[in-house]
Chains A and B, each alone.
Chain A
Amino acid sequence: MHQPAGHDFDQDLARALAQGRDVPAPGFAERAVQAVRADRRQRRLVRWGSALTTAAACLLGVFVLTGGSEDALAQRARALAASDESSQLTDILGFADELAMLTPVVDRHAVVEVLINPDL
């Protein structure tokens, strides 16, 4: 015969709480595995995204660092401009225009031809 309830506090407490000790949830294991797989995929994506962002930041850093100071950048811009033939031609045409304005008798086309062709 079991002891009547309300007689032994500790025994009653243990019995009451023991009833909630194991609560099986049907299908829980499968759902948990699915959740873990989804989490694994998500973390893999985040890792790749993070790696790509880091790589992009590194490339940008290398570009900025090798570019040097503002003076160096200005120098590079001037060098680029110097190698630009269309820019040089624009300068020549501008120079010819100025000569034509100063001395209207000068043939503008002849000036351009002389400047372009060093053999003349």
Chain B
Amino acid sequence: MSPEELPPPEDEEDKRLMSLVASGDDDALRLLVHRHHARLVGYLRSEVGSQATAEELAMEVFIRLHRASSRWRPEAKLTTYLIHIAHNLVLNEWRRRGRKPTSALESAPEPGDLSHDSTRRVTELDEAFRQAVALLPAEQRTAILLLVQQEMPYEEIAAVMEAPVSSVKTWIHRARTRLRELLKDYYGPA
């Protein structure tokens, strides 16, 4: 977003709802959750590979948001703040499990095994992409998900991941290279 542009009305609505949440308004909280939960669950599911875990973590995100509501200052977009909390919870989840989460995608067939039937090719390619993204190192996966799936600018990704923009750019470059390697059957060598 360029600096000349006015903040979108959604941001203003988020600020209004957050001030109501801070004063204990549960209806405002319900509205806020309704507005943001689908995107949050989508991001978390892409990270942890499980719908149930994604919903549990998303629930925890809103609990933490509520706890922080009185201290929250609308300096950043609420979506960035929510994804930031979610990312920290994902890191905790990985630490708790002691390793990178496995996902259902790991049991899917290798890209090279996929059928070349043109009618199924798009679906299979999408599956191959998601499978390849799940195999990326943690930082690379988070960075590429936030950039491509969540359509966040580099600066917001850096804020979410608490890292310099230069690191984010490096992770994204490496992620693209790695994805091209994993999907070389479709796109040729990187």
Contacts and interface: CB of A to CB of B under 8 A. Distances in A.
Interface of A: 4-6, 9, 12-25, 28-33, 35-37, 39-40, 43
B67 A39 contact: yes
A58 B126 CA distance: 64
Interface stretch (B12-20, B50-58, B161-169): B50-58
A33 B46 contact: no
A39 B150 CA distance: 29
Contacts of B6: none
Given A17-B148, A39-B67, A24 B121 contact: no
**Chain A contact surface mostly:** helix
B154 interface: no
Interface residues of B, number: 43
Given A5-B125, A22-B38, A23-B38, A17 B62 contact: no
Contacts of B174: none
B59 A32 contact: yes
Contact of B59 (A15, A24, A31): A31
A66 to B, nearest CB: 39
B126 A33 contact: no
Interface string B27-50: 001100110011101110110000
Contacts of A19: 126
A32 B148 contact: no
A28 B66 contact: no
Contact of B149 (A18, A24, A25, A29): A18
A48 B133 CA distance: 47
B129 interface: yes
Contacts of B55: 25, 28
Contact of A33 (B29, B122, B144): B29
Interface of B: 26, 29-30, 33-34, 37-39, 41-43, 45-46, 51, 54-55, 58-59, 62-63, 66-67, 118, 121-122, 125-130, 133, 144-145, 148-150, 176, 179-180, 183, 186-187
B129 A22 contact: no
B149 A5 contact: no
A33 B33 contact: yes
8 contacts: A4-B118, A17-B149, A23-B51, A24-B37, A28-B33, A32-B58, A32-B59, A35-B63
Given A17-B130, A37-B26, 6 more contacts: A4-B118, A16-B129, A23-B45, A28-B55, A32-B29, A39-B63
Contacts of A39: 63, 66-67
